[in-house]
Structure 1
């Protein structure tokens, strides 16, 4: 994991998110938008290479693991994997910016009519995207997948 300079991270956020979090301290921002706990966690992460858009991510759900292997868009791969697991997430806004600390990604997610932002910082843009999406879904505090998938 990267060392987080929260002020730089917040400065990289899109204008709408910066306005929404204007009264938060850096610690509050981190707790609100970068939440690591919830029904889904990112386990193992493996990029295929610096010049490749391939990655493997292991997602930890309450009662099982799922490995996502993707070439191309991490947003498409994660959206599909989450949908298959009963989390019909839609990405409404996506913002990614390279900082001195790594790649900062901010996503506004919607699932079952609820909206919220997720944010993450990682060395790799794909990893940052995956972690931001999982943070967004977890922050919505979604119940587990429905039985009638």
Structure 2
């Protein structure tokens, strides 16, 4: 797993228009705290891309009390959606935006779960990891809205 230092200003600027409109009064740091927070019932424990020319990856997800390994070829959205459904998180991805920035690939996803909607965002070296992290952030945010 790669840890990137994030320029929150450029990340906030890379967000899709609808998300920026939803959060006009947030500072870049507040935007990052709200939409990129990975704390919650789901965590990414390990990440292994298979190679730069393939769309294969292995992700270990940490759920409350157990681990689940997702091995996928192709769409990380489809693989994560299936894995989350198997764990009881019936998430749908309503919007997906991905942009290359100077710091890496920024991904923004609008998720819906049990009638609630929320955005998740992430930045990583590759698009698949960024997608997985953004989906986890979005689902965790929706889970936090239940309490």
Task: Give the structure-1-normalised TM-score.
Answer: 0.94
Q: RMSD between aligned alpha carbons?
A: 1.3
| Number of equivalenced pairs | 144
Which residue of structure 1 aligns with residue 21 of structure 2?
19
Q: Which structure 1 segments of 5+ residues have no match?
A: 144-149
Q: Which structure 2 segments of 5+ residues have no match?
A: none
Q: What is the aligned counterpart of 1:101 among 100, 103, 127?
A: 103
CA deviation vs aligned residue, 1:45-88 (integer Å, no higher than 9, x gap): 00000111000000000110000000000000000000000000
Give the Å deviation of 1:30. 1.1
What secondary structure does 1:120 align onto?
A: strand
In 1, distance between residues paired with 2:46 and 2:98? 22
Q: What is the aligned counterpart of 2:121 among 92, 107, 119?
A: 119
CA deviation vs aligned residue, 1:99-139 (integer Å, no higher than 9, x gap): 11000000000001110000000001000000000000000
Q: Does 1:83 align with 2:85?
A: yes
CA deviation vs aligned residue, 1:1-38 (integer Å, no higher than 9, x gap): 11101111111110000111110011211111001100
Where has structure 1 moved over 3 Å in runs of 4 or more?
A: none
What secondary structure does 1:141 align onto?
A: helix
Task: Give the structure-2-normalised TM-score.
Answer: 0.95
Q: Does 1:42 align with 2:59?
A: no
Q: What is the aligned counterpart of 2:63 among 61, 64, 86?
A: 61
